Structure 1
Amino acid sequence: MKRIILGSLTMSLAVAASAQSSLTLYGLVDNGLQYETGLPKGNRWAAESGNWAESRFGLKGLEDIGGGTFVTFQLESRLNTENGTFANGSFFEGQATVGMTNATYGSFRIGNFGASELLQYAGILDPQQTQKYSFGTLVRGRMFPQAANGAEYLSPSFGGFTVQGQYNLTNSTTWNAGNPGSVPSQQGTSTGLGSSQGRDDGIKLEYKAHSLDFQAIYDEMRDGNGKFSNVYLASRSIFAGGSYVWGPVTFYAGYQHLSAPDASNVGYYGTANPSSLPAGTSLPTTVDDEWVGAQWAVTPSTFLTGAVYHANANNGNGNATLYTLSGAYQLSKRTRLYSELGYLHNSETSNLGLNGGLYGANTNNDPVNGNMSSTNPNFGHSQFGAFAGIATQF
């Protein structure tokens, strides 16, 4: 039976090839070791998957249907290769899309965009290239939203300019409202804030020319009630950033503004003055995040990157600064050794962490409801982290 199946698959691939089509199996395996200080219960040694890039495997295909038009599809699964589990418990959490592309008219696709939600395209303008300590750390992962049930269009290039739009439906009978279970739930709330996702949409303008790459992105994610109720989960985002290559050095700068006008302590905690937060602190409704950095290609196979990230949240939540330094060595075109150091300094009422824990006090400040954010440091405390690993692509 195995030989019959293998023979049928071989014949299918041969037919596809004769029709000027392609089927590609690809993936990445990334494992490493990590040490971090300043966690609520002390310091930690850990084996981690995906510190440089999330492990994954996938299939993508291309079929030439004539006239310069191709039918495309992509199925991608995200993995924890330290324990073999799927990310978020979903087999094709990365993406599952089908569409069409034409050099003259652009590209269109529909399906689950998962890890290619529109804002994630900004990752190429992050100095640390979305490693664990990077531009998503100080916004608790808001740079990496998930999106499903959507449609996307990417224009052809006009003098270096492209426009990309994405719209993700809720599949609900109520406009903007979502379906339970589509995003991770937040802590300590009887209303289940964060347990469903509403409408998600956005637009991206990009300009590429010679050594310059610039992006401007607007996107919005609503909660299951159609509200902007959590600046880190259900909010509006305005992003602008760029990179410039000068010889062996690439310079980066970026800025993000998050807003959630419907956010409140009552909606999140069920009370206006939760005892686990510092006095005078309430759920933030705006966050400003900015960064600068540079990558130096010391040799064609050796890279050093340094970057500084800073975030400031309103409503008494203070500010934090993240300093990073990383190095990478390409053993081959497919395999690299990597490492990164990160130091995160919090102001008195901030408890942002290197692991991007959800908003709220950790287990020391809130032993009843603090489990979900147990990787956050104590308020006003700093963290240091270091990791190293190996990643190979196929």
Structure 2
Amino acid sequence: MNRHQHQHRYRYLLSAVVCSVACSVTCTAHAQSRITLYGIVDAGLRVTTNMGGKNQIALTGGNESASRFGMSGAEDLGAGYKAVFALENGFTTTTGVLQAGLEFGRQAYVGVATPLGTLTLGRQYLTLSSFLGPFASGSDWAARGSSYGYHPGGLDNVDGTGRANHALKFLSTAYQGLQFGATYGVGGVAGDASKNELMSFGVNYAGGPLKLAAAYLFVKNPNFSLYGNNANSSATASNITNPVFRGYASAASQEVLGAGASYTAGLITVGGIYTRTSLGNLGGTALAGPALPPGVQGTTARFNTGELNLKYQATPWLFFGLAYAYTRASSYRGLSGAAYQEWSLGAQYLLSKRTDVYLTALRQTAAGFDSTGARAVAVLGFATPSSSNAQAGLTFGLRHQF
């Protein structure tokens, strides 16, 4: 073998070694850390009857799912520990407007995953909505993005609209199908460590076809800590616009206790959820605006909500859903409390693994007297309240997930 051949062979072996080392380093880096970009883009037609007495047909974004773009990541720290993070932005597809005026209004957190569970810090979903949401049609398939399928006004927060700022959240590792979690939101008010704080606890179980969950939420000064933690929120006035519980915005506290269950038999899943919401010590949170009427100060308003729903997976590509929910409020100054009934019917068809079309029809009726002392009117989610006791909605659109 001549000198030229030796040099050529040497360069070949050196290149092979360098490539092998580079490949090893790259594979090790990928094994140690990862970053995932994800999102949903949703848009379609939304038809709503009786919005303040007028019907509306609109091209809107986020009907079935709120549009979003996010990134999440994890880095292997060794011994079963990982550093994790998520930054998630919400936006309106048809206008590009940011959700709640925040750059990462949906989620923004960092934390550590351990063999026992994951602890995260930042702006996050509450444990109650994380655990009970899957049992409610309005958090699953019934026009969640538009809010139309929510329990009245989203007052029990099962839908996850309310986030916890300055929050610590723990989710345990599942053990034989059992898992528990907790959230604590630090109030951060100088001189009053407990003001604006919130806490939530929950437990769930998944064993074969059966799923169960129970959760609790306690919030101090909910008008500010839960409903007023967005960029556009008021620091002095009411942040609750829905007449279902607008009159109770001055409550010193809010409590929600709930439980859900579902059972799958073949292609059919039957589910149900119950929540009890209490807004305590009305007038306990100072707000700009008119004072409470006589007899309301210091009292507690309560709402009981029950829902039954059914899902039918007709084929791997075609899904149908049906739900009925009933909410009853406590009396208001001797008047019969409001009662809300809502029916939802929906269908989804997969065009591919990531793209589907959907159609959802909803109708709500109201009776009795609402939190303002007026005759209760129907209002689907966060829509403009109707001028009567009935309101209906229809959403049809296209959704892509990546």
TM-score (norm 2): 0.77
Matched residues in 2 for 1:227 and 1:85: separation?
Answer: 23
Of 299, 302, 313 in structure 1, the residue corresponding to residue 329 of structure 2 is 313
Work out the CA distance in 2 between the residues paired with 1:343 and 1:161: 36
CA displacement at 1:272 relative to structure 2: 3.8
Decide which of 200, 203, 215 is 2:201's aligned counterpart.
203
The residue identity in structure 1 corresponding to 2:211 is: D
> Residue 118 of structure 2 corresponds to which residue in structure 1?
107
> Secondary structure at the residue paired with 2:314?
strand
**Residue 377 (str. 1) matches residue 389 (str. 2):** no
2:129 match:
120
Is the CA contact 2:251–2:283 (under 8 Å) kept in the aligned structure 1? no
Check if 1:355 corresponds to 2:372. Answer: no
Corresponding residue number in structure 2 for 1:173: 190
Alpha-carbon distance in structure 2 between the residues aligned to 1:101 and 1:210: 26
**Partner residue in 2 for 1:246:** 265
Output one character per residue of 1:35-72: Cα deviation in whole Å (capped at 9) or x when no partner.
11121141111122111111100110011111111111
RMSD, aligned α-carbons: 3.1
- Single out whichever of 345-354 and 202-211 deviates more from structure 2: 345-354
How far residue 16 of structure 1 moved from its aligned partner, in angstroms, is 7.9
Displacement of 1:227 = 10
Q: CA deviation at 1:119?
A: 2.3
**How many residue pairs were aligned?**
339
- Does the C-alpha gap of structure 1 residues 211 and 224 become closer, same or farther in structure 2, counting only changes over 3 Å? closer
In 2, Cα distance between the equivalents of 1:392 and 1:155?
31
Q: Which has the larger radius of gyration?
A: 2
For 2:133, the aligned partner's letter is: G
Residues of 2 paired with 1:343 and 1:120: CA distance?
Answer: 23
Tell me the amino acid that sits aligned with residue 291 of structure 1: E
Q: For 1:164, which of 181, 201, 212 is the aligned residue?
A: 181
Asked if 1 retains the 8 angstrom alpha-carbon contact of 2:250 and 2:285, the reply is no
Q: Are the aligned partners of 1:135 and 1:291 in contact in 2 as well (CA < 8 Å)?
A: no
SS in 1 for 2:100: helix
1:258 is aligned, of 272, 277, 297, to 277
Q: Give secondary structure in 2 for the equivalent of 1:271.
A: coil
Q: Closer, same or farther in 2 for the Cα pair 1:47/1:232, shift >3 Å?
A: farther
Q: CA deviation at 1:258?
A: 0.5
1:212 to 210, 217, 221: 210
Name the CA distance, whole Å, in 2 between partners of 1:285 and 1:71.
Answer: 43
Mapped to 2, the partners of 1:330 and 1:209 lie a distance apart of 27
The separation in 2 between residues aligned to 1:347 and 1:150, in whole angstroms, is 38
> What amino acid does structure 1 have at the position aligned with 2:377?
N
Deviations 1:338-381 (A, max 9, x none): 01101111114322401336xxxxxxxxxxxxxxxxx1123x52
Measured after TM superposition, the shift of residue 174 of structure 1 is: 3.4
Q: Contact 2:253/2:281 (CA < 8 Å) preserved in 1?
A: no
1:70-85 paired onto structure 2 within 5 Å: 70-85=82-97
Cα 1:150–1:157 shift into 2, 3 Å: same
2:347 to 290, 315, 327: 327
Q: 1:17 to 1:384 in 2, by over 3 A?
A: same
Q: Distance in 2 between matches of 1:261 and 1:273?
A: 16
The structural deviation recorded for 1:230 is 3.5
Match of 2:291 in 1: 271
Judged with a 3 Å threshold, the aligned counterparts in structure 2 of structure 1 residues 295 and 19 are, in CA distance, closer, same or farther, namely closer
* Alignment partner, residue 64 of structure 2: 52
Q: CA deviation at 1:222?
A: 1.9
Q: Any conservation in 2 of the 1:230–1:262 contact (CA below 8 Å)?
A: no
Give the distance between the partners of 1:226 and 1:61, measured in 2 at CA: 31
Describe the SS at the equivalent of 2:197.
Answer: strand
2:245 counterpart residue number: none
2:121 is paired with a residue of what secondary structure? strand
Which amino acid is the alignment partner of residue 380 of structure 2?
L
Q: Return 5+ residue gaps in structure 2 as ranges.
A: 1-24, 227-247, 369-374
**Percent of aligned positions with the same letter in both sequences?**
24
Contact 1:265/1:272, CA 8 A, preserved across alignment:
no
Tell me, in whole angstroms, the C-alpha distance in 2 between the residues paired with 1:61 and 1:389.
Answer: 31
Contact 1:162 1:207 in 2 (8 A): yes
Matched, 1:293 2:309: yes
Partner of 1:222: 220
The alignment partner of 1:60 has SS state of: strand
Residue 396 of structure 2: aligned partner: 388
Closer/same/farther in 2, CA of residues 265 and 235 from structure 1, 3 Å limit: closer
Change (3 A) 1:139 1:95: closer
Letter in 1 for 2:394: A
Following the alignment from structure 2 to structure 1, what is the Cα–Cα distance between the partners of residues 48 and 223? 37
SS, match of residue 112 in structure 2: strand
Distance in 2 between residues matched to 1:328 and 1:209, nearest whole Å = 26
Q: Shift in Å at residue 224 of structure 1?
A: 7.0
- Structure 2 Cα separation of the partners of residues 206 and 142 of structure 1: 17
Which structure 1 segments of 5+ residues have no match?
A: 1-12, 179-197, 275-279, 358-374
SS at 1:157 equivalent: coil
* Structure 1 residues 249 and 232: CA distance shift in structure 2, 3 A: farther
TM-score normalized by the length of structure 1: 0.78
Maintained 8 Å contact 2:280/2:299: no
Question: Is the contact made by 1:254 and 1:290 (CA closer than 8 Å) also made in structure 2?
Answer: yes
1:69 and 2:88 matched: no
Higher mean alpha-carbon deviation, 222-231 vs 18-27, is at 222-231
C-alpha separation between the residues in 2 aligned to 1:155 and 1:29? 31
User: Of 256, 264, 269, which residue of structure 2 is paired with 1:237?
Assistant: 256
Confirm or deny: 8 A CA contact 1:139 1:289 kept in the other structure. Answer: no
